């Protein structure tokens, strides 16, 4: 079974631009979560999508948004990029349909650099 | 509130046991997880424990949970150089669906 894939793996943008990152979950997984990883803040939860609906959201500004398609693939978008948005963005998928045990499988991440 | 704390560094000799510690604050945690991250890679789930368990063993890994003190530990027996990585503990809150709260990560260095 193929793992979680993320594209692109590396991205360089300039301040003020916007960016879209893509995540394809493991086949059959309906939940996709996004995390931002930086040296200073560590791993922080952005949001989770389940069956095309945002089920949970972290404490990030509205510049960060996401969506999920009917095939469970997910995209996240960051508008008006700031230098502080430079980070590794990780996507995780899960087959969990409800609450409780939430075994998340992570992709390799997209390294975003904002200049 | 939601907060998970870990010590930042641990150095051990090959063949020794490693113990990585973690504390969490949210008493509504249901599951606690240990992830491993190698350079340039995503996170790999190592093991997990349900909050009503005290211990779980999985080959070289032993997880101990003290729910009263909200303390979690991961013991790696016979540590190898290939175990060098960053280890994250994470908690899943019962009413928060797919949200995991991660600690800062402990960098484990294994010296030959």
- DSSP assignment of A12-48 equals EE-TT--EEEEEEPPTT--EEEEEEEETTTEEEEEEE
Q: Report how far residue A43's alpha carbon sits from residue B102's, in angstroms, rounded to the nearest whole number.
A: 6
Give the per-residue pLDDT at B78: 97
- Which of B45, B50, B98 shows the shortest C-beta gap to A31? B98
Judging contacts by C-beta atoms under 8 Å, the chain A residues touching residue B105 are: 42-43
Phi, psi angles (nearest 5°) of residue A109? 95, 160
Tell me the pLDDT of chain A (115 aa) as tens digits.
Answer: 689 999 999 999 999 999 999 999 999 999 999 999 998 889 999 999 999 999 889 999 999 999 999 999 999 999 999 999 999 999 999 987 655 677 889 999 999 999 9
Q: How far is CA B30 from CA A7, B17, B55, B59, in A?
A: 32, 27, 14, 23
> Which residues on chain B place their C-beta less than 8 Å from a C-beta of chain A?
30-31, 35, 40-45, 48, 50, 88, 90, 92, 94-105
Chain B closest CA to A17's CA: distance in Å?
25
Calpha distance B48→B63 (Å, rounded): 8
pLDDT score for B97: 65
- Give the three-class secondary structure for B82: helix
A106 touching B (Cβ < 8 Å): yes
Could A106 and B30 be called an inter-chain contact, meaning their C-beta atoms sit closer than 8 Å? no
Q: How many of the other CB atoms lie within 10 Å of CB of A89?
A: 23
With beta carbons less than 8 A apart as the criterion, state whether B95 and B2 touch.
no
Query: Residue B21 CB: number of other CB atoms within 10 A?
Result: 17
Q: Tell me, yes or no, if A42 comes closer than 8 A to chain B by beta carbon.
A: yes
Per-residue pLDDT tens, chain B, 112 aa: give them: 568 999 899 999 999 999 999 999 877 777 899 999 998 888 999 999 988 889 999 999 999 999 889 999 999 999 999 999 999 999 887 666 678 899 999 999 999 9
Model confidence pLDDT, tens digit, residues A46-78: 999 999 999 889 999 999 999 999 999 999 999
């Amino acid at each position: 079974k193929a793992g979680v894939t993320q594209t692109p793996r590396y991205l360089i943008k300039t301040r003020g631009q916007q960016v879209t990152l893509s995540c394809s979950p493991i086949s059959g997984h309906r939940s996709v979560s996004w995390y931002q990883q930086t040296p200073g803040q560590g791993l922080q939860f952005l949001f989770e999508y389940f069956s095309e609906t945002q089920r949970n959201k972290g404490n990030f500004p509205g510049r960060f948004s996401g969506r999920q398609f009917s095939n469970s693939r997910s995209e996240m978008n960051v508008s008006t990029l700031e230098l502080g948005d430079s980070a590794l963005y990780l996507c995780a998928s899960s087959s969990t349909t409800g609450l409780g045990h939430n075994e998340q499988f992570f992709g390799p991440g997209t390294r975003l650099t904002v200049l | 509130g939601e907060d998970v704390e870990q010590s930042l560094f641990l150095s051990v000799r090959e063949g020794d046991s490693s113990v990585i510690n973690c504390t969490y604050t949210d008493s509504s945690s249901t599951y606690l997880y240990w992830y491993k991250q190698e350079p340039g890679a995503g996170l790999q789930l190592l093991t997990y424990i349900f909050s009503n368990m005290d211990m779980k063993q999985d080959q070289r890994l032993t997880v101990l949970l003290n729910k009263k003190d909200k303390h979690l530990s991961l013991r790696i027996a016979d540590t190898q150089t290939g175990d060098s990585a960053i280890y994250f503990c994470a908690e899943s809150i019962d009413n928060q669906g797919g949200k995991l709260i991660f600690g800062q990560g402990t960098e484990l260095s294994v010296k030959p």
